[in-house]
Structure 1
Amino acid sequence: MERTYGDIDGAGTGGAADADTGGGRGPKAGGTRPAPGGGGPGGPLAFSAADQEKQRAVRRMKTLATGLLLAVALVYVLAKWAQSAGLGGWSGYVAAAAEAGMVGALADWFAVTALFRRPLGLPIPHTAIIPTKKDQLGHSLGEFVGENFLAGDVVRQRLRAVGIGSRLGVWLAEPAHVDRVTAELATAVRGALTVLRDADVQAVVGEAITRRADAQEIAPGLGTMLEKVVADGGHRRVVDLVCVRAHDWLTLHSDSVMDAVTGGAPGWTPRFVDRKVGDRVYRELLRFVTEMRDMPDHPARGAVDRFLADFARDLQSDTDTRARVERLKSEVLGRGEVQDLIASAWGSVRAMIVAAAEDERSELRLRARAAILSLGTRLATDERLQRKVDGWLEDAAVYVVTTYRGEITSLITETVAGWDAEHTSRKIEAHIGRDLQFIRINGTVVGALAGLLIYTLTHTVVG
């Protein structure tokens, strides 16, 4: 009897929770020997301290259920002895109740044990369900999750009930939360810029700028801009600057003008004549520049205005002028110095962004914080914006679950398939085995009551 009950319990009092696994050859449930296939420490199904505590609770409940079965068996033996000794009619009722209680306990023990192992190690069909049907259970679980949790309508209704837009707005309306978000964004920006290789980014930026410049004709745009500048008189300050600088240069370099004039004179002319001519040219040139500098209505200034206005129109409408500008643009962009300048711009931009991200008082951080705080305030109060944000999130979530449902459910199926069958059974039993032992206890109690009721009705009717 003791051997039978030890096998029935699967735990006994010595902790042999899996004594009947594989005909009594399996590892003890209370042990810590790692199961093959990833069941050891650190594996996908490693037993944690919480799992071990649950396993101990399962063993205690097994001991209690088995103890109740032993108690009922003892009551049955004593009741049958009392009945044979003629101690009274009550012994028949007690024996019937105890007998039915044992039957109920044994039936429920078989049902519970059959989930995790073969009862008594016997190859009974449809037993050891979890170890033998593990892969099918994983596939069914994946399908169940896909149909009931990853359905588009389910995801949309759940997200709509949560009201993420409103909650996000309330959360972002708090300055402390905004500071945290801003800091995290700054960290993310710094990390992203650190990971990027300068050479790769420079090549991309240079190629993008060059391609965009080649594809876009610049002459009409330049013509429109120049036309507006001339119409607004914006070029006059440039003319003023040129005149001032020309006057100053002529004042300081009169000898250079004289040398240029005399150097270009014929060799047969006398030297004093060359100097006279040079001096006259220099004085006239200085007078012209001085008058142009001091007279806003000087005719030469008007000529400059007309020239620029004509050039602006030619840039917009003259085919030859536009073609020349495009050729010049291509030549300038093709020069190595320009390409180096474009590529080196990335370094300056990155340094500027990193410095701004690290400085809590930088304009970038302050503007980002203000924008996030404003967004949070609007989200917290504007129902239309809340609905719009909720709609975006719902659409995105539905797209993900409907597009990648197969990949998500296959993760469940493949993960379960990769688990060791024996270790999976032990893991599941540690989590739900304690509740299953109540089935054995309830079976004992309900069986005893049913047996007592049947015995009573039988003797009442027959009697």
Structure 2
Amino acid sequence: MTDTPRHDTPAVPHSSLASDARRAQLRRMKIAALLLLAAMLGGFVASHAMGGQGVWAWVRAFCEAATVGALADWFAVVALFRRPLGLPIPHTAIIPSNKDRIGDNLAVFVRDHFLDPDTLLEKLRVFDPAARLARWLERPRQARVLSEGARRVALQTLDLLDDRAVRGVIQEFVVSNLRRWDASATAGEVLSLLTRDGRHQELLDAALERLGGYLGTEEVRERASNLLVKFARKEWPRIIAAVDVIASVDGIADNLADRLARALVQELREVLSQPDHPVRQDYEGWLQDYIGRLRSDPALAAQAEALKQRAIDHPKVQEYVRGLWDDIHAALRRDLSTPDSALAAHLESALLAMGRRLAEDAALREALNRHVLGAARRLTGRLRAGVTGHIARTVKNWDERHLVDELELSVGRDLQYIRFNGTLVGGLIGVGLHALVLLAGG
């Protein structure tokens, strides 16, 4: 009694095997409903042929009303999906004729009942994401699974990277940042930091103590004596020859070198013991002046900049920068290729520590939940508009025939029971009306 729908490429995706099974079930139900209607028509014709008296009167009443009920319910079921017998009867083909309105109403229904912000946020608040995350991360097995998964993903990512492109990006990044770096200002800041709290004086003390220890050695005095003798013989050969007749020049040089060494050591001790020694004051003044020049002197800044640029452009520096990625890549691969990866172990311990911290710190959990709820509210607001529009557009863009076909396959089998029920209920009503007529006539 219904037209067989045409089937093109479906706009509503579904499994072909499931579709074939549902189509066969629907066809069997339609045939059964049609056979039941044919049986009622046959009974109606047979009861008229037998004169419609006695038992046949009851049969005729049942079959007549059942036929009407079956035809009425067939019309109602078919009118949902298409025009019965192709006739332009008003208010038929209800679903395809109202597809756009159905899409809008469905979108609004999903928006108001499934994407209501207050409802979703209340469920999320009861869910307590921070506490659940803490309990989940506190389990060593979960942290190990996460770190192991991250290790494998990172190892696969290394294989996917274009080494030449990464190498070029790193070189460009490092060199460009070095060229923008203000070397003189940085040197001034570093020296200023090193001179804070008298640290530069401690450095001077260490240097002077080292120098004093060096001058006090026999080897240094011997070298100083040899240098004095060598210099004197070269500059004043006659005088040295005359002196050598009276006394040993080597002895005089040894004595002079020893006196010089002791004098220098004594001077160094005075510098070390006197915080306001002139040497210290000169050193302090020179260093502060140099720091100030590093920050403000254009000539000194230009010298530092030129030195920096020469260092950057040096082939060895460029080669080192180009090789950074190779070293990083090799180190990462060596570590990530082993199950006992140090990076994975650090990540695992960090996850466990995060879980313990979340479990112990109620304020941290509350702060995390607030952030999650705030992000969820913003996301829900965007999703409501997006999902509503997407559902409406998707339904409106469906092909009418395929929409009807999909809906009929989904609910058509159950709708055939309406035809069965209409046939039986109609027949029973016919019998009941026939009984009332007989009672009224009696």
- Do Structure 1 and Structure 2 share a fold, with TM-score over 0.5? yes
- Identity rate of aligned residues, in percent? 27
Q: How far apart, in 1, do the equivalents of 2:256 and 2:167 lie?
A: 55
Q: How far apart, in 1, do the equivalents of 2:122 and 2:200 lie?
A: 61
How far did 1:449 drift?
3.5
Q: How far apart, in 1, do the equivalents of 2:321 and 2:262 lie?
A: 42
CA gap of 1:319–1:381, structure 2 versus 1, over 3 A, is: closer
Matched position secondary structure for 1:86: coil
Q: Partner residue of 1:60?
A: 28
How far did 1:148 drift?
3.1
Q: Higher mean Cα deviation, 351-360 or 211-220? A: 211-220
**Residue in structure 1 matching 2:368, options 380, 389, 392:** 389
Q: Is the 8 A contact 1:247 1:290 kept in 2?
A: no
1:137 is aligned to 2:111: no
Aligned-residue RMSD, C-alpha: 4.8
1:184 is aligned to 2:184: no
How far did 1:178 drift?
1.5
Q: Partner residue of 1:438?
A: 417
Equivalences for residues 295-334 of structure 1 within 5 A: 297=269, 299=271, 309-310=284-285, 313=288, 319-324=292-297, 330-334=305-309
Q: Partner residue of 1:173?
A: 138
Per-residue Cα deviation, 1:401-420 (whole angstroms, up to 9, x for no partner): 31354333333344444443
Matched position secondary structure for 2:13: coil
Q: Partner residue of 2:428?
A: 449
Q: TM-score, normalised by structure 2?
A: 0.73
Matched position secondary structure for 2:353: helix
Equivalences for residues 32-431 of structure 1 within 5 A: 35-36=8-9, 39=10, 45=13, 47-82=15-50, 84-88=51-55, 91-190=56-155, 194-195=160-161, 197-208=166-177, 211=180, 219-228=188-197, 230=199, 233=202, 270=237, 283=257, 287=261, 291=265, 297=269, 299=271, 309-310=284-285, 313=288, 319-324=292-297, 330-334=305-309, 335-337=311-313, 340=318, 345=324, 348-349=327-328, 351-379=330-358, 385-431=364-410
CA gap of 1:199–1:436, structure 2 versus 1, over 3 A, is: farther
Q: Is the 8 A contact 2:62 2:431 kept in 1?
A: yes
How far did 1:400 drift?
1.9
RCO higher in 1 or 2 (8 Å CA, sep ≥ 6)?
Answer: 2
Q: Is the 8 A contact 1:179 1:369 kept in 2?
A: yes
Q: Is the 8 A contact 2:175 2:312 kept in 1?
A: no
Per-residue Cα deviation, 1:383-426 (whole angstroms, up to 9, x for no partner): 65444433333322221231354333333344444443323322
Q: Is the 8 A contact 1:360 1:366 kept in 2?
A: no
Matched position secondary structure for 1:395: helix
Q: How far apart, in 1, do the equivalents of 2:436 and 2:394 lie?
A: 54
CA gap of 1:273–1:170, structure 2 versus 1, over 3 A, is: same
Q: How far apart, in 2, do the equivalents of 1:269 and 1:426 lie?
A: 122
Matched position secondary structure for 1:52: helix
Q: Is the 8 A contact 1:45 1:424 kept in 2?
A: no
CA gap of 1:378–1:440, structure 2 versus 1, over 3 A, is: farther
Q: TM-score, normalised by structure 1?
A: 0.70
Q: How far apart, in 1, do the equivalents of 2:131 and 2:383 lie?
A: 28
How far did 1:177 drift?
1.8
Q: Is the 8 A contact 1:246 1:289 kept in 2?
A: no
Larger Rg: 2
Q: How far apart, in 2, do the equivalents of 1:443 and 1:228 lie?
A: 101
Q: How far apart, in 2, do the equivalents of 1:438 and 1:313 lie?
A: 100
Matched position secondary structure for 1:407: helix
Unmatched segments (≥5 aa) in structure 1: 1-7, 11-17, 28-34
CA gap of 1:233–1:380, structure 2 versus 1, over 3 A, is: same
Per-residue Cα deviation, 1:319-375 (whole angstroms, up to 9, x for no partner): 435324755654454342487466765654555455444444344322211221233
Q: How far apart, in 2, do the equivalents of 1:425 and 1:282 lie?
A: 117
Q: Partner residue of 1:30?
A: none
Q: How far apart, in 2, do the equivalents of 1:188 and 1:285 lie?
A: 73
Matched position secondary structure for 1:45: coil
Q: Is the 8 A contact 1:45 1:419 kept in 2?
A: no
| Aligned-partner residue type, residue 50 of structure 1 | A
Q: Is the 8 A contact 2:208 2:272 kept in 1?
A: no
Q: How far apart, in 2, do the equivalents of 1:409 and 1:353 lie?
A: 46
Q: Is the 8 A contact 1:105 1:444 kept in 2?
A: yes
Q: Higher mean Cα deviation, 71-80 or 380-389? A: 380-389
How far did 1:377 drift?
4.2
Matched position secondary structure for 2:195: helix
Q: How far apart, in 1, do the equivalents of 2:72 and 2:306 lie?
A: 93
Q: Partner residue of 2:244?
A: none
CA gap of 1:296–1:378, structure 2 versus 1, over 3 A, is: same
Matched position secondary structure for 1:138: helix
Unmatched segments (≥5 aa) in structure 2: 242-248
Q: Is the 8 A contact 1:115 1:128 kept in 2?
A: yes
CA gap of 1:434–1:178, structure 2 versus 1, over 3 A, is: farther
Q: How far apart, in 1, do the equivalents of 2:360 and 2:271 lie?
A: 65
CA gap of 1:221–1:287, structure 2 versus 1, over 3 A, is: same
How far did 1:85 drift?
4.5
Q: Is the 8 A contact 1:93 1:452 kept in 2?
A: yes
CA gap of 1:395–1:123, structure 2 versus 1, over 3 A, is: same
Per-residue Cα deviation, 1:103-155 (whole angstroms, up to 9, x for no partner): 33222222222333332233334433444544443344334333333332233
Q: Is the 8 A contact 1:217 1:326 kept in 2?
A: no
